[in-house]
Amino acid sequence: MLKIKSKHLLTGEELSRDELVGLLDLAETLRTERNQGKNRNVLQGKNVTLLFEKPSLRTRVSFTVALQELGAQAVELVSAVRKKEEPKDTALVLATYSHGIMVRTFEHEILEKMAEYSPIPIINGLSDSHHPCQVLADLQTLKQYYGKLQGLKLCYVGDGNNMLHSLLLLLPFLGVHVTYSCPKGYEPNALIVKRAAKRALEGGGSIQAFDDPKDAVAGADAIYTDVWASMGQESEEFERERIFAPFQVNSTLYSFAKKEAIIMHCMPMVRNKEITSTMADHPRSALYRQAENRLHAQKALLVGLMSG
């Protein structure tokens, strides 16, 4: 049974290479078992608080179903129905009731403060800086399509946001070569890129930035994008549409990738903005597989953090 040494998952950097590989293998086993009508009640008698500061579809449902199928209970809290407290106080109070806390929030520092004091696992369901749970599902998706990770090339085009940060931190660490292209002024955080580059050397992958998205996509096994305006950036939407238009994932850009390249997006998407409907519904679109794999990857994560 997978056992993760770290108490918390905030960025994914907490996981060793062996733990990441083991998590992905377990996620695939759990997917197979679920399709056979089997579930493991390894978290029977436990509960996890799901704390939402941001709206959610995939995170909310996938974590809730994952906990139910592992025999645990989900206790959901949304910001509209609770008072604001210091992260330390929130973590210490919830730790007296729950066996784990999943947080979907804005500032990443909130998670760091909770983890500093929490005696139970803190899981980052999304912050403005990182989205590790999505990338665990993305790694599982890549492995399902190609049977391996080492040596694959994934290209990300668009906003240098939390998704790109997590892709850079986790994929090259497992031997994937990541290229990216972002508009000037919308590049990923330089400190995170520096950390990711060090991990890439350890894992056998690589990271390379390009000004022109066509150059970044050349020869890619997978093309990845995300919304141009994330939650909290709605006031910038129209300006971003103008700036990001050359970075749209469309049939022209796709033609520069490998012939059978898969198309990826963490969703929700805005069709015909960052990705055309033709690409979203393409035979090589992996979008809904990625969404499904949130369930399996998070099940494996919960087992690794909380079982035993």
DSSP string, 180-232: EE--TT-PPPHHHHHHHHHHHHHHT-EEEE-SSHHHHHTT-SEEEE--SS-TT
- For residue 300, the 8-state DSSP code is H
Q: Does the annotation mark 31 as catalytic?
A: no
- Residue 35: phi and psi, rounded to 5, are -65, -20
Q: Does the annotation mark 134 as catalytic?
A: yes
From the candidates 31, 177, 294, 296, give the one annotated as an active-site residue. Answer: 294
Helix (H) or strand (E) holding 89: helix 87-95
- Spatial distance between the Cα atoms of 37 and 35, rounded to a whole number of angstroms: 5
From the candidates 8, 31, 134, 138, give the one annotated as an active-site residue. Answer: 134
* CA distances to 53, 83, 123, 230 from 80, in Å: 8, 8, 21, 20
Q: Does the annotation mark 89 as catalytic?
A: no
Asked if 223 contacts 167 with a C-beta cutoff of 8 angstroms, the reply is no
In this structure, which amino acid lies at residue 86?
A: E
Q: Does the annotation mark 242 as catalytic?
A: no
Strand partners, 271: 275
SS3 of 115-167: HHHCCCCEEEEECCCCCHHHHHHHHHHHHHHHCCCCCCEEEEECCCCHHHHHH
Q: Does the annotation mark 248 as catalytic?
A: no
Q: Does the annotation mark 266 as catalytic?
A: yes
Angle at alpha carbon of residue 176, lines to 194 and 214, rounded to 5°: 85
- Residue 187: phi and psi, rounded to 5, are -75, 160
From the candidates 140, 266, 296, 298, give the one annotated as an active-site residue. Answer: 266
From the candidates 8, 31, 58, 131, give the one annotated as an active-site residue. Answer: 131
From the candidates 104, 108, 130, 265, give the one annotated as an active-site residue. Answer: 104
From the candidates 128, 138, 159, 226, give the one annotated as an active-site residue. Answer: 226
Q: Annotated active-site positions, please?
A: 104, 131, 134, 226, 266, 294
